[in-house]
Amino acid sequence: MKDYLWQNTCPMIRLQSTYFIVSLVLIASMSSFILLAVIFMFQIPSYEFHCLTFSNNFSGETQPMKWAMRLRVALHIAEALEYCTSKERALYHDLNAYRIVFDDDVNPRLSCFGLMKNSRDGRSYSTNLAFTPPEYLRTGRVTPESVMYSFGTLLLDLLSGKHIPPSHALDLIRDRNIQTLTDSCLEGQFSSDEGTELVRLASRCLQYEPRERPNPRSLVTALVTLQKDTEVPSHVLMGIPHGAAALPLSPLGDACLRMDLTAIHEILEKLGYKDDEGAATELSFQMWTGQMQETLNSKKKGDVAFRHKDFRASIECYTQFIDVGTMVSPTAFARRSLSYLMSDMPQEALNDASQAQVISPVWHMAAYLQAAALFALGKENEAQAALREASILENKKSANA
């Protein structure tokens, strides 16, 4: 399995990014915020894994995931777990479909955020108790066997297209009522032998006694033999265009690609603070003090300076507003980011654009500004990835408008 560079992420964690795992690569303190940066990944927009459907932003249609792709997801996650085990990181807390992300080639990868140092790192399972390993309910400890139990629930999701409680699924398996477990959308895509084998693997993972469950290596061995259409790229199986050229760029996207900062400024100025709705911190009556009024005045002065393209002044005023920390505004970070770009300070611009996306994860403007900053830093590949993400987010917003 291909592996890359070890990353020192914080004093307590040392993680590795591999072909199947997406890793935390930066932890930094910014003002009153903690900024976590991960290797660029994305979840299929409007992706509802528990139903195995995803929204194709390029066609606007929602479609079920193909059988071959579901098997690929299972294999890649099993390989990720095998790799973690080989590096003495066998504990993974609350493994479920929402821990899975997709890379630029739409290959499934496992998020590092469930990795644990010891059996008591995890606080609780986000899923319903019906999906929790039975030994966890007794002891509150996560073990390597608990991870296998959770992987079994994931296999059930892949097979059924539903989030079926393991106890109910096992009853259906014992009654040989496998047809009820199978997603009707998969009709004709796999043989009964293939379905039976996946059910057998799931039932082994869901054994009540932890010692009776398989280990990751045996799962990988079994899943490799089930793979179909291995020569077909994942993005083809998912029906998603590959590469930035496949994405029609909006005027904002085109401005970022051309590094036309003046055009970006006009768009950001026209947008105002419309996208701050729901992101800014609500203020209590007690916060309306003289200091609070002074903070708001700093933002207003920053807006005036930004409008008149006095970017040094806008940086100073927005910094005064942001550093107080009583209000959280992604737009203020975005405007300071562009001001930094206009002042030939691309690293500072990237930091602010990233912080804007931390506050408002689906805001396309933040992603576009990251792309512009990365282009300015000469990081072409990362910039193209950010540009694709921004285009996807903008298309999604337009589709929901």
Question: Looking at the annotation, which residues are catalytic?
Answer: 94
Beta pairing, strands 108-111 & 21-22: parallel
Burial 154-187 (b: 16+ CB within 10 A, else e): bbbbbbbbebbebeebbebbeeeebeebbbeebe
Rounded CA gap, 81 and 365, in Å?
A: 35
- Of 380, 308, 383, 393, which Cα lies nearest the Cα of 342? 308
Give the number of other CB atoms < 10 A from CB of residue 114: 20
Within 308-345, residue ranges assigned H as helices are: 311-324, 330-342
Rounded CA gap, 362 and 125, in Å?
A: 25
Measure the CA dihedral 259/260/263/264, to 10°: 20
Rounded CA gap, 362 and 301, in Å?
A: 28
Helix (H, G, I), strand (E, B) or coil at 264: helix
Q: Give CB contacts under 8 A, 24+ apart, made by 12-18.
A: 12/117, 13/115, 13/117, 15/112, 15/115, 16/87, 18/80, 18/83
Q: Which two tokens stand for residue 205?
A: 């993972």
